Amino acid sequence: MDAAEALADLKQISTQVDRAVIVAGDGTVEASSEADPEVASRIARAGTGLYAAADRVRGDLGRPRLTQLEVSTPEGSVFAVREGERTIVATTGLGPTVGLIFYDLKTCLRNVAEDEVEPAASVQGGGSDGAVAATGPVAATGWAEVPADPRRGIEPVPGAPLPTSAEEA
């Protein structure tokens, strides 16, 4: 999906995110949940600047490159996540669920990156027993495999047989 769609999904799923901006490797704003381009640009510059400064310090200490950053302030938090050349910067109110915010931001960036790559078949198989193999992170339920999401319960694959007893589940 494109960057604007990915941000719309992020805002719908992650209600703790107040504002979010996706920034290209050259510093340009690819998409923003903020309608005002000046505000979006300020968020992008501040977030990527914080990220770059923290990454420099890690490098000076001989540590691996930074992959994510949270800065907590009296008014809320600023998050920055980088994958490849793209960075997402987001703001939240006080007391965000940090791990969940990082998960959602990484998912948002991956959704944009998938749009740039020729999609491969995500389901393979369909053998004589009707079994299929899913690619990517999955959670085995014992009777169907579905994408894993730590915030939601496991949902069956449409069309997959449902267990008839607790022993089968």
pLDDT of residue 137 exceeding 60, the answer is no
pLDDT of residue 125 exceeding 50, the answer is no
Q: What is the pLDDT of residue 130?
A: 44
Residues 6+ apart with CB under 8 A from 4: 31
Q: What domains are there in the chain, each with its CATH number?
A: 3-116 (3.30.450.30), 121-158 (no CATH)
DSSP for the chain, written as a single string: --HHHHHHHHHHH-TTEEEEEEE-TTS-EEEES-S-HHHHHHHHHHHHHHHHHHHHHHHHTTPPPP-EEEEEETTEEEEEEEETTEEEEEEE-SS--HHHHHHHHHHHHHHHHHHHSPPPPSEEE--TT--EEE-SSEEE-SS-EEE--TTS---PPTTPPPPSSTTT-
Distance separating alpha carbons of residues 139 and 149, to the nearest angstrom: 9
Nearest Cα residue to 123 out of 157, 96, 149, 151: 157
Distance separating alpha carbons of residues 32 and 34, to the nearest angstrom: 5
pLDDT, one tens digit per residue, over 16-28 is 999 999 999 999 9
User: pTM of the predicted model, to two decimals?
Assistant: 0.67
Q: What is the pLDDT of residue 99?
A: 95
Phi and psi angles of residue 106, each rounded to the nearest 5 degrees, phi first: -65, -40
- Which residue in the block uniquely carries the two structure tokens 């600047």? 49
The chain-wide mean pLDDT, for the chain, equals 78
Q: What is the pLDDT of residue 113?
A: 85
Contact predicate 21/8, CB 8 Å: no
